[in-house]
Amino acid sequence: MITKYNSFEEIDARLKILRLQREIATENLKLHLNKVKSDLSPVQFFSGFKGSLQQMALTFALQKLSRLFRRTRQLELLN
pLDDT tens for residues 28-71? 999 999 988 887 777 666 666 777 788 888 888 889 888 888 88
Task: Give residue 22's pLDDT.
Answer: 97
Closest listed residue to residue 25, CA positions, set 15, 36, 37, 33: 33
Residue 38, C-beta contacts closer than 8 angstroms, at least 6 positions apart: 44
At residue 43, what is the residue type? V
> In the 8-state DSSP scheme, what is residue 68?
H
Neighbours of 72 (CB within 10 A): 10
pTM over 0.75: no
